[in-house]
């Protein structure tokens, strides 16, 4: 019997087609219209397009690294425009750039191949790709001869980034190149209709776009997966409407971001990262310190216009309800509008930002003249701030002003909630003490961003008084040492016995030996397929998946393995593979899960006997940032449903996604994998994604990277020094929201240290906070190779690696991808049976949910 769940049918499946069509329908909700003078959408009689830019043919569907997806095909921007019925008149310029890229990629591939064959280090090629990934070269200048007559011109600026390396504030990355600026100026002067499209996963400098006369529209098309060209063409011609809003603040200058000069490698120190911004991250900083951004958090234009009218704000107990009417005031185009609710808390013992997002809602699609009434509900207890001196979340007395509007820089006072006396909403314990003196910034004395009439609005605001006793204090209870279980039953107990009720989980745990449990708490990447596996593609069951849990007890205990596959823009699996007559995987006849795009030539070997080929092409959905820009939880749940469907079909149990670290700085190399600078938005997006995946039998998400994986340079060995308050309000809050709203099956810890302790070895983070305070019930696993062995740099690191024994002691149940050394480490370093049983129990509970 075949163990493979993949299909033997080579042709595109009905599932592939259906999923691409679903993405096509909802992806425009994540495209953000930054500028538009009426140029977009292009008129129906547009027949000729002058198309330029490095993203015209070489667009980016998603980022590099483990988050890439091996989809069957990718629809490019040019292809999308052609399929929309337009002629592209700039083919010769595009052909010339193709040749530049082909030559550059050939030289890069040759260098990598030389490292593989001649360096003497088997990891040299992999390290080069991660440390110095290939990027397409700068574009050539556009000449007068290149600019043929056309109805409109489109210039596509593409930027990619990825795992293992942060971006740089230089031309060709965060900044535009001189050639890009010159080309935009020439096109703006030549064509009456000129659109700049940003095929980027993060922030780029937009000053040149905003200052060049003749740039009619700027569309953040983002990175929408393998149908990106079709999605873009639909928005370009008005077949779909871009209704996205930014999930991160786009500054006027990179230097406007807090810690711009100390982030990651900017100061030459990648060993220690000092989070001196404290809670002032993103719009919290820009608002409080009076920094006007180029485009504020939550910003997004439409093809139409809207009127937002607050009808009522009421308070019942601690639940605040805002009713807002939104009307499409345009006369031509439909659209959707986002409404955001922020709260301004009074200063007291704890300093507060100017405002914080507490709720939001998005309308249905409104036709011209049509209205929709939105209801936004929030809890006053969520207005509390963490006071380290009291180890509690506290509502300090005073007025909490409710602000409602369309983005962080466009709100108005709608009401105020009066809190008469101090209220402790949660009584906790300080668990994440900072390990050094921080020089956290303060907004005291700074002039915040404001607007005419703000003080008058505050004075006239409707005051809602919070009833005494409306909020009860929640007191956290922290567990003690785990209980050891013993079982003297003679018959061997299986997991099926536990499932059927013939035995208890405690009986099974009591029978398991320390050796059995240690093996289960370590993944199975101990060689892979014929010793050829690459880190991150080590599954023995689903080729190309990142890894498995142990199946050594499958026969005698019925503990089947769990299959784990990378994300978050879809499933990263081997697109096709071959097996021989004995059903054994044939590496030489199979594709590679990591797409090195020709870097490695597939070896060819004569195989005697029958060879069977299998196919497991997956859908590349929009990147996480683009999903967040929809601000539509139904859309994000649908994206999760797409992934869950493919997991169920192909036999994947845990999706190593969504990524949900805070976009602390725009240079983080993996920002495209993360949702937002705001923890509430990030947490709600992750919860929606999780709900979409976990509606499928045997499928779960793995929210990551827990926590403070906010940089990629030296990501495995950097020490994040951060205050308890900033952790709880910013960097952990999104995870808390996701856990409370969706209970994901698993969490992945980050490589880095937090205040001197590796995240994977941090008991207070994983057990006290995540489990005892938040109620997390699932499995905690490490990121791949956190215990060492896959360093991408050959140097001495200031901080070492985590270890598998401390993983078990801290409640990090599963060490991935796993090694014999990890098992030995657990057995030889005093880990108790009770500690092993606690981790084993959670893994077995997950196996029961996924495999029974």
- Decide the pairing of beta strands 371-379 and 398-407: unpaired
Let me know if 481 is exposed, middle or buried by CB neighbors in 10 A (0-12, 13-18, 19+): exposed
If you search the block for the tokens 């049918």, which residue do you land on? 9
* Helix, strand, coil percentages for the chain (3-state, nearest 5): 30, 20, 50
Q: For residue 91, what are the CA distances in angstroms to 88, 155, 189?
A: 7, 13, 20
Distant-in-sequence, close-in-space partners of 456: CB < 8 Å, separation ≥ 6: none
> Distance between CA atoms of 808 and 57, rounded to whole angstroms?
49
For the residues of 701-764, what is the DSSP string, one character each?
EEEEEETT----TTTTT-EEE--HHHIIIIITHHHHHHHHHH--SEEEE-SSEETTEEGGG-HI
* 765, 756 contact by CB (below 8 A): no
> Distance between CA atoms of 178 and 543, rounded to whole angstroms?
44
* 417, 466 contact by CB (below 8 A): yes
Distant-in-sequence, close-in-space partners of 523: CB < 8 Å, separation ≥ 6: 538, 547, 548, 549, 550, 564, 814, 815, 816, 817, 818
> Distance between CA atoms of 845 and 499, rounded to whole angstroms?
10
Neighbours of 469 (CB within 10 A): 9
The strand pairing partners of 577, in sequence order, are 614
Identify whether 783 is a catalytic site residue.
yes
Q: Which two tokens stand for residue 821?
A: 């050394």
Closest CA to 525 of 298, 820, 317, 266: 820
For the residues of 564-586, what is the DSSP string, one character each?
EEE-SSS-B--SEEEE-TTS-B-
User: Dihedrals φ, ψ of 308, to 5°?
Assistant: -110, 125
> Distance between CA atoms of 242 and 239, rounded to whole angstroms?
10
Element (H, E) at 110: helix 91-118
Alpha carbon 243 to its chain centroid, in Å, reads 20
> Distance between CA atoms of 365 and 353, rounded to whole angstroms?
33
Alpha carbon 195 to its chain centroid, in Å, reads 28
Q: Which two tokens stand for residue 282?
A: 């993103």
Distant-in-sequence, close-in-space partners of 490: CB < 8 Å, separation ≥ 6: none
For the residues of 522-553, what is the DSSP string, one character each?
B---SS-GGG---TT---SSSTT-SEE---TT
Alpha helices in 405-557 (DSSP H): 454-460, 495-500, 505-511, 514-520
Residue 410: CA atoms inside 13 Å, Cβ hemisphere, count? Answer: 16
CA-CA-CA-CA torsion for 748, 750, 753, 755, nearest 10 degrees? -70
Q: Is 209 helix (H, G, I), strand (E, B) or coil?
A: helix
> Distance between CA atoms of 602 and 606, rounded to whole angstroms?
13
- Sheet architecture: strand order including 48-52: 32-36, 217-220, 194-199, 152-158, 48-52, 87-88
> Distance between CA atoms of 675 and 679, rounded to whole angstroms?
9
Alpha carbon 209 to its chain centroid, in Å, reads 27
Q: At what angle do helices 679-694 and 633-650 cross, to 10 degrees?
A: 40
Q: At what angle do helices 633-650 and 14-26 cross, to 10 degrees?
A: 170
The residue annotated as part of the active site, out of 764, 783, 813, 822, is 783
Q: Which residues are catalytic?
A: 783
């Amino acid at each position: 019997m075949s163990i493979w769940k993949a299909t033997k049918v080579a042709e595109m499946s009905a599932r592939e087609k259906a999923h691409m069509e679903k993405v096509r329908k909802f992806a425009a909700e994540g495209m953000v219209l930054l500028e538009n003078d009426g140029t977009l959408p292009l008129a129906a009689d547009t027949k000729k397009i002058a198309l330029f830019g490095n993203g015209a043919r070489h667009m980016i569907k998603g980022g590099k690294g483990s988050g890439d997806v091996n989809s069957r095909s990718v629809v490019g921007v040019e292809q999308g425009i052609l399929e929309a019925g337009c002629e592209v008149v700039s083919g010769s310029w595009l052909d010339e750039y193709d040749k530049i890229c082909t030559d550059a990629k050939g030289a890069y591939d040759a260098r990598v191949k030389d490292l593989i064959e001649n360096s003497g280090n088997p990891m040299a090629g992999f390290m080069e790709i991660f440390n110095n990934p290939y990027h397409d070269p700068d574009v050539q200048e556009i000449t007068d001869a290149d600019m043929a007559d056309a109805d409109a011109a489109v210039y596509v600026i593409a930027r990619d980034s990825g795992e293992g390396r942060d971006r740089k504030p230089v031309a060709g990355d965060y900044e535009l190149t001189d050639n890009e600026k010159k080309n935009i100026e020439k096109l703006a002067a030549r064509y009456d209709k000129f659109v700049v499209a940003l095929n980027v996963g993060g922030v780029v400098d937009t000053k040149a776009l905003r200052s060049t006369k003749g740039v009619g529209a700027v569309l953040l098309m983002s990175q929408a997966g393998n149908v990106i060209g079709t999605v873009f063409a639909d928005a370009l011609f008005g077949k779909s409407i871009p209704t996205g809003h930014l999930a991160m603040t786009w500054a006027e200058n990179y230097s406007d971001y807090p810690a711009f000069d100390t982030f990651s490698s900017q100061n030459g120190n990648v060993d220690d990262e000092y989070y001196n911004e404290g809670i002032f991250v993103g719009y919290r900083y820009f608002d409080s310190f009076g920094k006007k951004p180029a485009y504020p958090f939550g910003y997004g234009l439409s093809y139409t216009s809207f009127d937002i009218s607050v009808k009522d704000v009421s308070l019942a107990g601690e639940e605040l309800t805002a009713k807002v009417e939104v009307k499409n005031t345009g006369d031509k185009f439909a659209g959707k509008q986002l409404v955001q609710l922020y709260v301004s808390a009074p200063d007291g013992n704890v300093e507060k930002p100017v405002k914080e997002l507490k709720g939001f809602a998005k309308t249905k699609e409104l036709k011209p003249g049509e209205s929709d009434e939105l209801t936004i509900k929030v809890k006053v207890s969520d207005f509390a701030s963490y006071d380290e001196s009291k180890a509690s979340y506290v509502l300090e007395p005073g007025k909490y002003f409710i602000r409602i509007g369309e983005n962080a820089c466009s709100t108005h006072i709608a009401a105020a909630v009066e809190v008469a006396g101090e209220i402790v909403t949660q009584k906790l314990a300080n668990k994440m003490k900072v390990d050094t003196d921080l020089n956290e910034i303060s907004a005291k004395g700074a002039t915040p961003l404001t607007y005419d009439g703000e003080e008058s609005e505050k004075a006239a605001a409707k005051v809602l008084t919070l009833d005494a006793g409306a909020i009860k204090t929640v007191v956290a209870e922290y567990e003690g040492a785990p209980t050891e279980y013993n079982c003297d039953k003679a018959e061997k107990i299986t997991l099926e016995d536990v499932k059927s009720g013939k035995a208890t989980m405690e009986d099974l745990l009591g029978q398991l030996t320390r050796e059995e449990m240690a093996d289960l708490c370590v993944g199975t990447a101990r060689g892979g397929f014929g010793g050829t596996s690459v880190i991150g593609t080590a599954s023995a069951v689903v080729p190309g998946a990142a890894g498995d849990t142990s199946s050594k007890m499958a026969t005698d205990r019925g503990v089947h393995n769990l299959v784990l596959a990378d994300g978050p823009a879809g499933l990263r699996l081997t697109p096709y593979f071959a097996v021989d007559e004995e059903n054994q995987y044939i590496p030489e006849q199979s594709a590679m899960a990591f797409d090195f795009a020709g870097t490695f030539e597939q070896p060819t070997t004569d195989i005697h006997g029958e060879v069977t080929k299998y196919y497991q092409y997956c859908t590349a959905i929009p990147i996480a940032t683009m999903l967040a820009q929809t601000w539509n939880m139904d859309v994000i749940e649908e994206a999760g449903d797409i992934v869950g469907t493919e997991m169920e079909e192909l036999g994947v149990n845990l999706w190593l996604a969504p990524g949900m670290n805070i976009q602390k700085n725009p240079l983080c190399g993996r920002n495209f994998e993360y949702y937002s600078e705001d923890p509430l938005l990030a947490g709600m997006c992750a919860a929606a994604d999780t709900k979409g995946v976990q509606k499928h039998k045997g499928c779960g998400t793995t929210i990551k990277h827990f926590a403070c994986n906010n940089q990629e340079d030296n990501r495995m060995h950097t020490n994040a020094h951060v205050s308890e308050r900033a952790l709880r309000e910013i960097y952990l809050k999104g995870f808390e929201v996701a856990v409370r709203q969706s209970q994901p099956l698993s969490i992945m810890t980050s490589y880095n240290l937090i205040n001197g302790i590796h995240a994977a070895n941090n008991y207070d983070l994983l057990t006290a906070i995540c489990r005892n305070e938040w109620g997390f019930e699932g499995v905690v696993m490490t990121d791949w190779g956190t215990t060492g062995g896959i360093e991408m740099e050959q140097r001495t690191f200031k901080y070492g690696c985590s270890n598998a024994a401390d993983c078990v002691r801290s409640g990090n149940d599963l060490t991935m991808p796993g090694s014999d050394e990890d098992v030995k480490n657990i057995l030889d370093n005093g880990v108790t049976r009770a500690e092993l049983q606690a981790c084993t129990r959670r893994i077995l509970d997950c196996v029961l949910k996924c495999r029974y």
